[in-house]
Amino acid sequence: MNNKINSAEFIQAFLKIISLIHALFKSDKQKSNHGYRSTMRFFLLYAIKKLGLKTLAELAEFFHLKKNTLSEMISRMENDKLLLRQISRQDRRQFIFQLTPRAEELLQKMCSEFEQKIETLFCGLKAEEQKEFQKTIHSLANTLNAFRCQDEVIND
């Protein structure tokens, strides 16, 4: 059995999937009446509320973003009354982020919309194919994370 992947076919399929997913989720931004500007806002709100990532360092590591880039996004979300910044009790040099009631309501609406979009994405796959796809995605994420960690060690 040949396990070698055809890079050109993979890149073409990957770009097609990414562009279609982007278009699917982008349509939410244009039609939405609850005021979120980007999919990234949803991801940040979700990570803080559902994944328990509360600090800038945790969020930056999870999203693989530089702290200053993430800090700018978070500041805009604070200005839009979506996040509260509090000083950590354990480390007074660190801030803890918390969703406002407005953000909680917004996240609930956004989750419903995203769940519908996810169902749309997977409607053409059988249950076994969905499970296999999720397994493959987790495997790829773990592999990418291992490469990322190796790269950080080499570049430090």
Please give the class, per CATH, of domain 7-123. mainly alpha
Confidence of residue 152 (pLDDT cuts 50, 70, 90): low
pLDDT in tens, 72-85: 999 999 999 999 99
CA geometry: angle 142, 115, 130, nearest 5 deg: 50
pLDDT in tens, 88-117: 898 888 999 999 999 999 999 988 888 888
Domain locations in the chain as residue ranges: 7-123, 125-156
